């Protein structure tokens, strides 16, 4: 029972959730502090926009890619820039890979930056841009002569002292704005980090305390995830542009819960398969050419949930690197969801386009490996 169910739950929280939390807060704060500047830089440098768009997705999570989709929706960047961001984003799966192998994650991020920017420039070079929705024209009516202008007395000048004074900015942090459940989760993360870090760096053997804190943290994460609606995505345009540290912590708690739950699903599924059947995954269709095809096709699924399970399987040793690379390039994370709402035709073409470099790079890994 312990090894079958409790250990995977504890590992999902202690080995992934805790490390996600340690990175969510600083990355979220940086996005809150400088995100608007990055958005402005994206619109200013249109010639280099595919590279800038791909670079915006380098921080973990989907916030940078969602910012690019919003800019494309209002016509501020080219279609190639949107495709570059979708190719380059690793979504929430980057949290799992960072916890599993930080150096590998950095290398994959560099690969995604190059592949995403090159794909974006190629899309713009060939002039590919699906027909977009146009705002509906205002209804025409019978022309009526405008009324004759009437003299309006000029308003008296308002004394400087009586002019409206801008409201004072709200404090950057207020604990009650975070929410009870996210605060409980952050407390569990704090307790888990004191044990998880020495265990991960092999300074301490996993003992009963590790198991208890891990299962407790995973349980709190499940509650937070359930109260948030058990969604298949955790990022949207509002969460990508938070304006206070309290909002960063609140959304960060939900993001930690989201990642922890789906990684726990992957770990539990793998544990049950290996313990109950003795199957080690060597014959799963994730090897060789079939593996690259499966990875690229799974990447067509919008949202981060399935991709998190896929990354969790890789972390558990269930698939080779070429399969993960194909999935990482093909997947669009949560960024495809707002694009589907804004421009569904562009979104559908883009998600198909991202599978082309995914297959090409995945097959190259097979040949070179």
For residue 289, the model assigns a pLDDT of 86
- Give the Cβ contact number of residue 158 at 10 Å: 9
Q: What is the pLDDT of residue 140?
A: 45
Nearest CA among 353, 252, 230, 232 for reference residue 304: 232
Instruction: Look up the pTM and report it.
Output: 0.69
Taking only the tens place, the pLDDT of each residue in 310-349 is 888 888 777 888 999 999 999 988 888 778 877 888 889 9
3-state secondary structure of 91: strand
Question: Computed from CA positions of residues 138, 143, 144, 150, in that sequence, does the dihedral angle turn out positive or negative?
Answer: positive
Amino acid 139: pLDDT = 43
pLDDT for the residue numbered 191: 79
Q: What distance in Å separates the CA atoms of residue 307 and residue 263, rounded to the nearest whole number?
A: 10
Can you list the residues of the chain whose pLDDT is less than 50? Answer: 135-142, 144, 158-173
Nearest-5° Cα angle at 270, 268 to 274: 120
CA-closest candidate to residue 16, choices 191, 181, 196, 222: 196
What pLDDT shows up at residue 163? 43
Query: pLDDT (tens digit, 9 = 90+) per residue, 80-105?
Result: 999 999 999 998 888 888 888 889 99
Cβ–Cβ under 8 Å, residues 92 and 307: yes
Sequence-distant (≥ 6) Cβ neighbours of residue 75 within 8 angstroms:
none
Helix axes 18-44, 180-200, angle to 10 degrees: 110
């Amino acid at each position: 029972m312990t090894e079958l169910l409790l250990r995977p739950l504890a590992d999902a929280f202690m080995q992934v959730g805790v490390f996600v939390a340690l990175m969510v807060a600083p990355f979220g704060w940086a996005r809150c502090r400088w995100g608007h500047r990055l958005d402005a830089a994206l619109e200013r440098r249109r010639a280099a926009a595919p590279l800038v768009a791909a670079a915006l997705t380098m921080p973990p999570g989907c916030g940078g890619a969602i910012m690019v989709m919003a800019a494309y929706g209002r016509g501020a960047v080219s279609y190639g820039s949107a495709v570059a961001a979708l190719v380059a984003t690793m979504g929430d799966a980057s949290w799992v890979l960072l916890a599993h192998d930080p150096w590998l994650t950095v290398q994959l991020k560099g690969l995604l930056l190059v592949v995403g920017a090159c794909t974006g420039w190629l899309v713009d070079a060939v002039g590919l841009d699906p027909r977009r929705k146009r705002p509906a024209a205002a209804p025409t009516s019978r022309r009526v002569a405008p009324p004759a202008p009437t003299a309006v007395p000029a308003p008296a000048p308002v004394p400087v002292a009586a002019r409206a004074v801008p409201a004072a900015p709200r404090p950057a942090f207020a604990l009650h704005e975070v929410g009870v459940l996210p605060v409980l989760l952050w407390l569990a993360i704090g307790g888990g980090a004191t044990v998880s870090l020495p265990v991960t760096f092999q300074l301490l053997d996993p003992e009963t305390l590790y198991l208890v804190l891990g299962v407790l943290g995973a349980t709190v994460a499940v509650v937070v995830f359930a109260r948030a609606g058990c969604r298949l995505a955790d990022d949207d345009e509002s969460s990508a542009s938070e304006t206070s540290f309290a909002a960063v912590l609140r959304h960060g708690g939900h993001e930690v819960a989201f990642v922890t739950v789906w990684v726990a699903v992957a770990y539990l599924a793998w544990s049950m398969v290996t313990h109950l059947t003795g199957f080690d995954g060597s014959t799963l269709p994730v090897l060789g050419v079939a593996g690259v095809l499966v990875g690229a096709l799974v990447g067509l699924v919008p949202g981060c949930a399935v991709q998190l399970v896929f990354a969790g399987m890789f972390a558990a040793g269930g698939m080779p690197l070429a399969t993960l690379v194909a999935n990482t390039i093909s997947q669009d994370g949560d960024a495809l969801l707002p694009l589907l709402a804004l421009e569904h035709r562009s979104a559908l073409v883009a998600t198909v386009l991202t599978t082309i470099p995914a297959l090409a790079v995945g097959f190259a890994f097979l040949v070179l490996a």
